[in-house]
Amino acid sequence: MKRRHLTIFVVLASFAAIGYGFYIFEDEPKKGNTCIGAGTAGLFLLGMPLFLADVSRGKKAKDYMLTDENIRKMQGKEPKNTENQ
């Protein structure tokens, strides 16, 4: 199974658990809260890291960091030349 399929499965299972928790909340509040909490934890502790790992594969982390060089590129300024000082 590819990572993308695993990510989709985890996200759908988490949303299903949250929906089921809200559905049974009236009859069994304790079990409903457990399902809602498990779905939320699965979404943010499993689904989000899997998604971010899948999307960021092959990209350089340095390109997304706010270094002095990258800030100057965004502002359109020339890089400082400190060799003359």
Do 32 and 24 meet the contact criterion of CB atoms below 8 Å apart?
yes
Per-residue pLDDT, 73: 83
Is 80 part of a structural domain of the chain? no
Is 15 part of a structural domain of the chain? yes
Is 81 part of a structural domain of the chain? no
Greater confidence (44 vs 76) lies with 44
Give whole-number Cα distances, 25 to 20, 22, 42, in Å.
Answer: 8, 5, 19
Q: How much is the pTM? A: 0.70
Is 83 part of a structural domain of the chain? no
Segments forming the whole domain that contains residue 35? 3-75
Is 31 part of a structural domain of the chain? yes
Per-residue pLDDT, 62: 78
- Say whether pLDDT at 31 is over 60: yes
Of 2-6, 19-23, 34-38, least confident by mean pLDDT is: 2-6
Is 57 part of a structural domain of the chain? yes
Q: State the residue for tokens 């009236």.
A: 26
Our count of domains for the chain comes to: 1
Is 84 part of a structural domain of the chain? no
